[in-house]
Structure 1
Amino acid sequence: MKNEDLIPADEICVRYKVERQFVSSLYESGIIEMVTIQETEYIHCDHLADFEKMMRLHKELDINLEGLEAINHLLRKINRLQEDNLRLKNRLGLYE
């Protein structure tokens, strides 16, 4: 993991106009991942899309943290099922 790919959590709060507690809540619930380097918390740029998605759901649809956790769980499950489906299609293609 490169340090250039890390964005300070405080900077994300300023840019997206969200409270620090919201970012911490997403981290504590496992929706986003953060790393701590020298007492500063960072979010990897790969997780920024997940953060933005959850932030929009929270702000625009007024979904609480528990709802965001459920949505995140279902989205991950859908993603895994799509990957499994693609893998099985590829295996099936070998036998046709």
Structure 2
Amino acid sequence: MMKEENLIPAEEICVRYKVEHQFLISLYESGIIDVITIEKTQYIPLDHLHEFEKMIRLYRDLDINVEGLEAVHHLLKQIESLQKENRRLRNRLNLFE
């Protein structure tokens, strides 16, 4: 179970970033962020805050809807995975040089 100091109340996030609660829930339903409910209060894990901030910037600055954010999130995760694989392969290749 996640420690409560690593959780931020969803209501606080909505106020701080001036977003509707439904936007936050849409990101959760799209699999972009996690929302944890403890005693009827929803929380966002602290380690998902960066992803939330990235999505809110894309949503506001580029006017990308939630479906678009889901696609962008998926593509960014693929790029990250490919970059890790590339580093791993380069490290293996360096062993043979």
Q: TM-score range by the shorter chain?
A: over 0.9
Where in structure 2 are the equivalents of 1:1-96 lying within 5 Å?
Answer: 1-96=2-97
Unpaired runs of at least 5, structure 1: none
Query: RMSD of the TM alignment (CA)?
Result: 0.7
Query: TM-score, normalising length from structure 1?
Result: 0.96
Could you state the TM-score of these two structures normalised by the residue count of structure 2?
0.95
Task: Percent identity, please.
Answer: 66
Deviation at 1:46, TM superposition (A): 0.7
Q: Please, which runs of 5 or more residues in structure 2 have no aligned partner?
A: none
Q: Which runs of 4+ in 1 moved over 2 A?
A: none
Shift of 1:2: 1.8
Amino acid at match of 1:26: L
Q: Which amino acid aligns with 1:34?
A: V
